[in-house]
Chains A and B, each alone.
Chain A
Amino acid sequence: DQQVKQNSPSLSVQEGRISILNCDYTNSMFDYFLWYKKYPAEGPTFLISISSIKDKNEDGRFTVFLNKSAKHLSLHIVPSQPGDSAVYFCAASGYDYKLSFGAGTTVTVRA
């Protein structure tokens, strides 16, 4: 049973524009949320996280928004760059030493 869902398998965006990735979760016990980026043949790399006590966290070009009532979070990348082309995974944790991952969204940044 997938508790973290990324319903868009792919996203194509022009260089310089905003990329918006979405993620929904079903487990109300989740209180910590993360985004990872993954290149082929490499492990996932941590990007940004947010605790359930916040609704926004920003780090450079990356901003994560959390809407607890809707059980929804999103990742904004502004401006998108060619090096951002990768698979992005949403993950969530409920203080139980494990991360539940979404299926990933493949982002392609067009020049």
Chain B
Amino acid sequence: DTAVSQTPKYLVTQMGNDKSIKCEQNLGHDTMYWYKQDSKKFLKIMFSYNNKELIINETVPNRFSPKSPDKAHLNLHINSLELGDSAVYFCASSLGANTEAFFGQGTRLTVV
């Protein structure tokens, strides 16, 4: 069983569209994250949720809206997609602060 799974793995869409990426973890973790890996390969935190509550929003444009319906799920919705949003987005989960995070396989988003 995959510990952290996200769908879709690849997403190609046009500028201006709205899209969602889904993430689920079966590890029983309380904390979930979205990270973005840009073209320079840096991995940067976008959001962190602990027990369904948003605890980190790292100056991400408000076109990005995370939603956590329960502790096992953290979805990412992106409105009005722009070319600069093209990147690989990783979902992750952990037991809490200062514990290792487990990552999903990533979603490669390409905006054309």
Contact = CB atoms under 8 A, between A and B. Distances in A.
Contact of A43 (B31, B56, B97, B105): B105
Interface string B68-112: 000000000000000000000010100011101111111000000
B43 A45 contact: no
Contacts of A95: 97-98
A89 B44 CA distance: 12
Nearest to B10: A41
Interface of B: 4, 31, 33, 40-45, 48, 50, 55-56, 58, 90, 92, 96-98, 100-106
Interface of A: 2, 31-32, 34, 36, 41-46, 49, 51, 87, 89, 91, 93, 95-101, 103-104
12 contacts: A36-B103, A41-B106, A42-B105, A42-B106, A43-B4, A43-B106, A97-B33, A98-B45, A98-B48, A98-B56, A98-B58, A99-B45
